[in-house]
Amino acid sequence: MKKDKIKIGILGFGVVGTGTYRVLTENFEAIKKQVGAEIVVEKILMRDMSKKRLIDVPDRMVTTKPEDILENSDIDIVVELMGGEEPAYSYIMRALENGKHVVTANKELMAKKGSSILEKADNNGLSFGFEASVCGGIPIIRAFKRSLCTDKVKRIMGIVNGTTNYILTKMTQEGSGYEDVLKEAQAKGYAEADPTADVEGYDAAYKMAILSSIGFHTKLDINMIRREGISGVSKSDILYGKDLGWTIKLLGIAQEIDGKLEVAVSPVMLPAEHPLASVNGVNNAVFVNSEAVGELMFYGPGAGQMATGNSVASDIMEIARQIVLDNKTLPNCSCFDVKAFAEEPESSFYLRLDVINRPGVLAKIAGVFGNYGVSLESVLQKKTEGERAEIVWITSKVKESSFKKAIEFIKYMDVVNEVSSIIRVEANGHC
Ligand X SMILES: NC(=O)c1ccc[n+]([C@@H]2O[C@H](COP(=O)([O-])OP(=O)(O)OC[C@H]3O[C@@H](n4cnc5c(N)ncnc54)[C@H](OP(=O)(O)O)[C@@H]3O)[C@@H](O)[C@H]2O)c1
What does the alpha-carbon distance between residue 197 and residue 203 come to, in Å, rounded to a whole number? 5
Q: Are 75 and 7 in contact (CB under 8 A)?
A: yes
What does the alpha-carbon distance between residue 348 and residue 102 come to, in Å, rounded to a whole number? 43
Cβ nearer to ligand X, comparing 261 with 317 = 317
Per-residue buried b or exposed e for 279-314, using 16+ beta carbons within 10 Å of the residue's own CB: bbebbbbbbbbbeeeeeeebbbbbbbbbbbbbbbbb
Report the interface residues with ligand X, using CB under 6 A.
12-17, 45-48, 51, 81-83, 87, 105-107, 132, 136, 303-304, 308
The CA-atom distances, in angstroms, between 206 and each of 137, 170, 198, 202, 225 are 17, 24, 11, 6, 9
Hey, which residues are catalytic here? 207
What does the alpha-carbon distance between residue 1 and residue 260 come to, in Å, rounded to a whole number? 49
CB of 343 to ligand X, least distance (A): 32
DSSP state of 131: G
Q: Are 215 and 228 in contact (CB under 8 A)?
A: no
Cβ nearer to ligand X, comparing 51 with 328 = 51
CB of 311 to ligand X, least distance (A): 8
The CA-atom distances, in angstroms, between 371 and each of 25, 402, 405, 410, 422 are 66, 10, 10, 11, 19
What does the alpha-carbon distance between residue 312 and residue 17 come to, in Å, rounded to a whole number? 9
What does the alpha-carbon distance between residue 355 and residue 385 come to, in Å, rounded to a whole number? 11
Cis peptide before 139 (omega within 30 of 0): no
CB of 17 to ligand X, least distance (A): 6
CB of 382 to ligand X, least distance (A): 41
What does the alpha-carbon distance between residue 72 and residue 91 come to, in Å, rounded to a whole number? 13
* Rg of the chain in Å (alpha carbons): 24
CB of 135 to ligand X, least distance (A): 8
Cβ nearer to ligand X, comparing 35 with 110 = 110
CB of 80 to ligand X, least distance (A): 8
Cβ nearer to ligand X, comparing 186 with 402 = 186
Cβ nearer to ligand X, comparing 309 with 345 = 309
Q: Which residue is nearest to ligand X (CB)?
A: 14
Cβ nearer to ligand X, comparing 160 with 238 = 160
Helix (H) or strand (E) holding 210: helix 202-215
CB of 19 to ligand X, least distance (A): 8
In sequence order, what DSSP letters do the residues of 382-418 get, joined into one string? EEEETTEEEEEEEE-SEEHHHHHHHHHHHHT-TTEEE
